[in-house]
A and B are shown apart, each in its own frame.
Chain A
Amino acid sequence: MAIARAALLISPELCIGCRGCQTACKSWNQLPGQKTKNTGTVQNPPDLTPSLFNMIRYVEMPSDKDVMRWLFVSRRCMHCGDAGCMKICPAPGALYRTKEGAVAFNKEKCIGCKLCVVGCPFDVPRYDEKDKISKCHLCFDRIAEGLPPACAKTCPTGAIKYGERDSLLGLAKKAGYTKVYGESDLEGLGSIYAFKDAPKLYGLNEKPAIPETVVFWHKVLKPLAYIGLGGVAAASILHYVAFGPHKESEEEEKKNG
């Protein structure tokens, strides 16, 4: 029996910015706290890291005429229906889709090529100290047991809701959101947003798309590569296509040496 696709409905209007979700995620996934500095904002760490799968972005919107606004936006993997990361990943099984529709990963199969970074329209994948992918996996281990993801479980106001994607869409529509972000883009996102205003105010692209190079790889090179080459070699070809020669790692080697 097919399982209905699950999703997170994120409603910034309900979010109070308490960041219970950030802590709950770290607690469930046993991610370490990192040494940070206050950089003159509430938002911390500034962006996702290998040990920060979800975060709240704090957006201040001053206004000369009206009272200012302060938006709290949950940022994490979007679990795209058409996932650029999965498309480009040359290592079979490193990124996979769970039966609920989450984009999960298997670190043992990850080859550390970082191509998924290029493939992601939302700049989500991060790499840990062992050079393995690290990101939100929708608490695949919890949802498989019928439990909501840790972030949704802890959210006090229902700003992060977990459930069947279709019913969440219905819920958002019922609440008056005629357009739900991620409803159909990239074959529908797994993290959908009820935005009151244009997505760009909340730091998201109006039209998210997978980079052209990734599409090229997926359609042309990847099938070819699998015929004659192993994953690592294929990855380096693609790496060349996507980034050009291996500068980054050379520099890193110099630094480390």
Chain B
Amino acid sequence: MTNHWVDIKNADVILVMGANPAENHPISMKWVMRAREKGAKLIVVDPRFTRTAAKADLYAPMRSGTDIAFLGGMIKYILDNNLYFKDYVVNYTHASFLVNPDFKGPGQLNGLFSGYDEKTRKYDKKTWSLQMDENGLPKKDPTLKDPNCVFQLLKKHYSRYTLDKVSSITGTPKETLQEVYKLFASTGKPDRAGTELYAMGWTQHTVGTQNIRAMCIVQLLLGNMGIAGGGINALRGESNVQGGTDFGLLFHILPGYNPVPSASLTDLKAYIDKFTPKTKDPKSVNWWGNRPKYITSYLKAIYGKAATKENDFGYSWLPKLDEGMNASWLMLFDQMFKGKFEGFFAWGQNPACSGANAGKVRKALSKLKWMVNVNLFDNETGSFWRGPEMNPKEIQTEVFQLPACSSVEKEGSLSNSSRLAQWRYKAIEPIGESMPDSEMMNELYFRVKKLYQKQGGKFPAPIVNLTWDYGEKGPDGKIKHVDIHLVAREVNGYYLEDLFDKKVDPPKQLGEKGQLMTNFVTLQADGTTSCGNWIYSGSYTQKDDKIINMMARRGKDDPTGLGLFSGWAWAWPVNRRIIYNRASVDLKGNPWDPKRAVIKWNPDKLDPLTKKTAPGWDGDVPDGPAPPMADEKGGKYPFIMRADGMGALFGPGLADGPFPEHYEALECPLQENLMSKQKINPAVKLFYEKGSGLPEDIFFSCDIRYPYVATTYRVSEHWQTGVMTRHVPWQLEMQPQMFVEMSKELAREKGIKDGDKVNVSSGRGKLWAIAIVTDRFKPFKVAGSTIHQVGMPWHFGWQYPEDGSGGESANLLTPTIGDANTMIPESKAFMVNVEKA
């Protein structure tokens, strides 16, 4: 989230699109309802009428997978009617920046951007560049009239997204589109705030990243980024999944969003050169210019004394990706299916039900020599070998089950969607032989290390040099038990030497050897500081001799009334509650909306220590202490994480285009994309093409065998694959069985009655479900024809309830295809058939 949960209450208009908070994030609705009590309007755009839609002031149905068309229409509406926040757009975005004149868009190139190579399905992004002047600064036209400026290109690109076109693609009635556009665009005024809440309904598409990009453009045009009650807010689907991403659980990032190096970056210098953006603009903070400090301090944290300047701080021990290698979920299981892995740790997950194309995943597991399943319960993954269509006699996979204890049986931190790291305590001792994950890792680490020490092995350095100072050592050198506080301190980082600010005379001491880091501002690139995750630096800190776990704070003060609660736990970065907050003020540092002032420049601010005047910011922790942008000496641009300091209306960093463009889902009900000749996202990786590929990866678009659009989702009563909730009889009582929701119209056509058992099938699999025939689903009028859509939860699995009464996972039906940028599977739009069982 750019903002935070409580901040939803500050919005005037809340757009829920790609999410269903009433069912999947019920607590968030507390803040939605608070906002509504004060007169805010709730808009819900969803293919189905959800429990969130039931609370909406304005509901718009939309065919699954057409969000970009919907939002493209909104961008056009905002631009056509001059509803954008002009001062904000001109000063805080790169609307005025000039783009390479050779750049061409889908309007000119039949749905493609310039630079496309059909063979590799990739773009050469040479023409997606900004024009630079002789001093290396971006060329601009503040009047926004130059035909090559970002603003004009944006206008041109979305001029094709007319109401008629959008309505015929999305199936949303024109009047409803207009109502939504009008209401949301009303937040383009300085004293109005609009927020957006999204979740997997946006990400799980072949255009997932661009769905979110499209909304970023809307929010930048309306001046809604950085303000209270604004922003783009990803509602995370698991309590600590924000923490998971922050700590690099994905294949392409190390902790703190540092990229995973590829094999061609053979030394630290090459890595730093590649990933440290540069700017010649003195007004740009270019925060990622600090990358060398963060990566070096990270290496010092994980390799300790073994990391020296001479050995590049152990950079060569970091795992590398092969050039161009993609190790995302779909690829991992594809490789596993092809027999490329010996072993697999399924740690706190249930891929046999959660993975897209779960049938393929289950077969892939059978190719393994061994698998370790770490979970609270056995699940469909641990027991895959005795599942449906499996012959245990033919499966050689040896499965080890490690019982993990639950979150209330261990201490530690948890990072929620608000980027809020909150410390929590152990309520009860772990039950039976179950253990915290950290203890399992401790056991595993020392056993593996011992083997390397004894037997050598191919590449022992990354293991034997790893720091592991997490508690008292036993006589065998092994840490007896992991003290999770010491892990948190390693994450925060330490001063490894006395550190002085030598720019002042006499030099001022910033840190003392052995002390915990104050925050990331004093991290160094020379190996004199360590930090396990720079964005968490400051979370477990030290003032003189007093060590403070900031995440354990429980302050309830809210002086601004905006619900920042800055004394409650700790939010990254540096306890900032609303990021990009420098964009919430005008060029002089005064809030656009004084009633919702996130920060404000105070020229008369008193230093609390010296009692002398020291101009500074009031309110939330600002995005850097620099004076406001208009200040001639030290003023800075607001979007500090970007090299040019500006909100990116033009996004050349993405794989599939600098502007979001509508493409159909891989499996869709239409012969053609009504927007262009390019039917699907041209930059996605196809696992099955022109009849070649694994039969498991087959897909059917516009095929009479699978005529209905399907989508998957969760319901309040269950969680994820249901491993935790299916074992709770109270939850199972409310949602006992796999179901498929459909319209009365479709049910009539198929002779299906409410409560009937039906079969749902796709190119990948088949399952039974109970039909819920409801007015909450309606057929769509798309391109003149009627399109039916059905929906299913993915909470069930064959193993439990043991009598098989629950049914199977909807992921048996989902296709092997991912987003062009992230490879997140497209489980929100695919094609199925439904027949009475």
Contact = CB atoms under 8 A, between A and B. Distances in A.
Interface of A: 14, 16-20, 22-23, 26-27, 32-42, 44-45, 52, 60, 62, 67-72, 156-158
B29 A38 contact: no
A20 B755 contact: no
Contact of B29 (A16, A37, A45, A60): A16
A67 B732 CA distance: 31
Contacts of A17: 22-23, 51, 54, 716
Given A37-B805, A40-B772, 14 more contacts: A17-B51, A23-B730, A27-B730, A34-B733, A35-B733, A36-B732, A38-B770, A40-B755, A40-B771, A52-B733, A62-B775, A68-B776, A71-B54, A156-B26
B716 A18 contact: yes
Contacts of A52: 733
17 contacts: A17-B23, A18-B51, A23-B730, A33-B732, A34-B729, A37-B736, A37-B805, A40-B755, A52-B733, A68-B775, A69-B54, A72-B54, A156-B27, A156-B30, A157-B26, A157-B33, A158-B33
A173 to B, nearest CB: 15
B439 interface: no
B734 A22 contact: yes
Interface in B475-513: none
A44 B772 CA distance: 13
A23 B734 CA distance: 9
A196 B774 CA distance: 23
Contact of B26 (A16, A33, A71): A16
Interface string B731-756: 11111110100000000000001111
Nearest to A71: B54
B534 interface: no
A26 B736 contact: no
A67 B755 CA distance: 24
A44 B755 contact: no
B756 A36 contact: no
Contacts of B49: 67-68, 70
A26 B754 contact: no
B730 A70 contact: no
A40 B770 contact: yes
Main SS at interface, chain A? loop
Contacts, number: 108
Nearest to A23: B730
B59 to A, nearest CB: 5
A40 B33 CA distance: 29
Contact of B736 (A19, A36, A41, A157): A36
Interface string B688-725: 00000000000000000000000000011100000000
A36 B733 contact: yes
B736 A70 contact: no
Report, nearest first, the 8 A-B pairs whose CB atoms are least far apart.
A33-B729, A40-B755, A40-B754, A16-B22, A70-B54, A62-B775, A18-B26, A38-B737
Given A14-B33, A38-B739, A72-B51, A32 B729 contact: yes
B818 to A, nearest CB: 31
Interface of B: 22-23, 26-27, 29-30, 33, 49, 51-55, 59, 715-717, 728-737, 739, 753-756, 770-776, 805
Contacts of B756: 40
Contact of A16 (B55, B732, B805): B55
A40 B30 CA distance: 29
A18, A26, A32, A39: most-surrounded residue (chain B CB, <10 A): A18
Contacts of B51: 16-18, 70, 72
A69 B59 CA distance: 11
B776 A70 contact: yes
Contacts of B732: 33, 36
A129 B351 CA distance: 41
A40 B732 CA distance: 15
B773 A40 contact: yes
A38 B772 contact: yes
Nearest to B33: A157
Contacts of B776: 60, 68, 70
B173 to A, nearest CB: 11
B790 to A, nearest CB: 14
A27 B22 CA distance: 21
A27 B716 CA distance: 17
Most buried by A among B729, B732, B733, B753: B733
Contact of A39 (B715, B730, B755, B774): B755
Give the residue among A27, A33, A37, A60 with the most B Cβ atoms within 10 A. Answer: A33
Contacts of A16: 22-23, 26, 29, 51-52, 54-55
Nearest to B744: A62
Contacts of A37: 736-737, 770, 805
B29 A41 contact: no
Contacts of B735: 38, 44
A156 B26 CA distance: 7
Contacts of B30: 156-158
Nearest to B755: A40
A156 B734 contact: no
A4 to B, nearest CB: 26
Contacts of B775: 60, 62, 68
A50 to B, nearest CB: 13
A101 B440 CA distance: 53
Contact of A33 (B29, B715, B728, B753): B728
B70 to A, nearest CB: 17
